């Protein structure tokens, strides 16, 4: 296709082919939608390739595909909006096997710092297993970062140089 033709006043001259780009866009979109419905709404097959009857099998073919597609879409919507299960963690273990605390971390917009009273050589391998490529844990603070008060190593959070209210 060449440059658009213009009349003496510079206005575009429409010819019988000027509508083709728009028509091609509609055809492409229609084709994509039909392919989508064909993939999402197709009846399931067993291992031998035989059709599996479902609640839509008695309907006309086009309605079967539309209803199955809708069912699939609502299934995926539910997967996105709701948790995968009611109980996210298993029931607690009986004492003394259940740990005292449960740590839950949210990593969105969070600076992750490990601050422990353990010796570095003792805990470093554990942290390396948690974050082997050093992508998530930004800083590792060990016993050498604590104060030794009355025979106990104490973590002083004021030394973190961050706003502790966040």
| Domain residue limits, the chain | 20-81, 112-160
The pLDDT of residue 107 is 74
Low-confidence ranges of the chain (pLDDT < 50): none
Longest dimension (CA), the chain: 96
The pLDDT of residue 144 is 92
pLDDT tens digit string along 40-55?
899 999 999 999 999 9
The pLDDT of residue 82 is 85
The pLDDT of residue 121 is 92
């Amino acid at each position: 296709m060449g440059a658009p033709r213009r009349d003496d006043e510079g206005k575009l001259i429409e010819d019988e082919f000027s509508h083709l780009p728009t028509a091609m866009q509609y055809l492409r979109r229609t084709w994509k939608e039909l392919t989508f419905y064909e993939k999402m709404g197709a009846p399931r097959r067993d291992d031998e390739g035989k059709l599996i009857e479902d609640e839509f099998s008695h309907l006309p073919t086009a309605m079967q595909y539309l209803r199955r597609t809708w069912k699939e879409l609502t299934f995926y919507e539910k997967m996105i909006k709701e948790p995968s299960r009611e109980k996210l963690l298993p029931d607690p273990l009986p004492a003394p096997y259940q740990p005292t605390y449960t740590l839950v971390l949210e990593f969105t917009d969070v600076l992750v710092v490990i601050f422990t009273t353990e010796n570095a050589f003792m805990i470093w391998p554990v942290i390396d297993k948690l974050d082997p490529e050093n992508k998530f844990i930004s800083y590792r603070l060990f016993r050498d970062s604590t104060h030794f008060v009355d025979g106990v190593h104490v973590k002083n959070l004021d030394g973190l140089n961050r706003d502790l209210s966040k």
